[in-house]
Amino acid sequence: MQILVNSKLTSGGNGDLNRYVESVVENALDRFRDQITRVQVHLEDENGPKAGATDKRCMMEARLGGLKPIAVTAYGSTVREAIDGAAEKLERALGSTVGRLRETPGRTPTEKEILSTTDFERLEGGEAGEPGRDHAK
């Protein structure tokens, strides 16, 4: 699972913040690790240097192999509060999406519906073969 952080925050110390984001996202989404190809995180202070109650915004977008991206947004009075809120929302959204795929009668099983990251990369690279199986090169 690749985690990309895009920050429009004016404060320094983005290295620590990036590590915090990666830790929170990895912990929250660990059970979906095999289905997620990439998570993009966008951080912004909507009021800039002006003080504001809940002006810190965190938008997270997860890309699952074979499905449309799932995006959530959370606001907080601190950046970490917004990050934590977005990670919780994204975990619930992914759980709901994956759960619906498993529970819908007459649908192909989830492992056929949602490609693993390896299978997705193989298909993007133009390799032939059936997902879920190792192919000799």
For residue 25, the model assigns a pLDDT of 97
Q: What predicted TM-score, i.e. pTM, was given to this entire model?
A: 0.71
130 found inside a domain? no
63 found inside a domain? yes
94 found inside a domain? yes
For residue 108, the model assigns a pLDDT of 52
131 found inside a domain? no
The rounded distance, in Å, linking the Cα atoms of 72 and 29 is: 14
Please state the φ and ψ torsions of residue 23, each to the nearest 5 degrees. Answer: -65, -45
135 found inside a domain? no
* Domain containing residue 55: 2-124
pLDDT digits (tens, 9 = 90+) for 56-114: 999 999 998 878 899 999 999 999 999 999 999 999 999 988 877 766 566 554 444 55
CATH number of the domain where residue 89 is located: 3.30.160.100
pLDDT digits (tens, 9 = 90+) for 13-41: 678 899 999 999 999 999 998 889 999 99
66 found inside a domain? yes
For residue 27, the model assigns a pLDDT of 96
> Who's near 36: CB < 8 A, 6+ residues apart?
1, 29, 62, 63, 64, 94, 117
What is the domain count for the chain?
1
- The residue among 48, 31, 50, 43 whose CA lies nearest residue 83 is 43
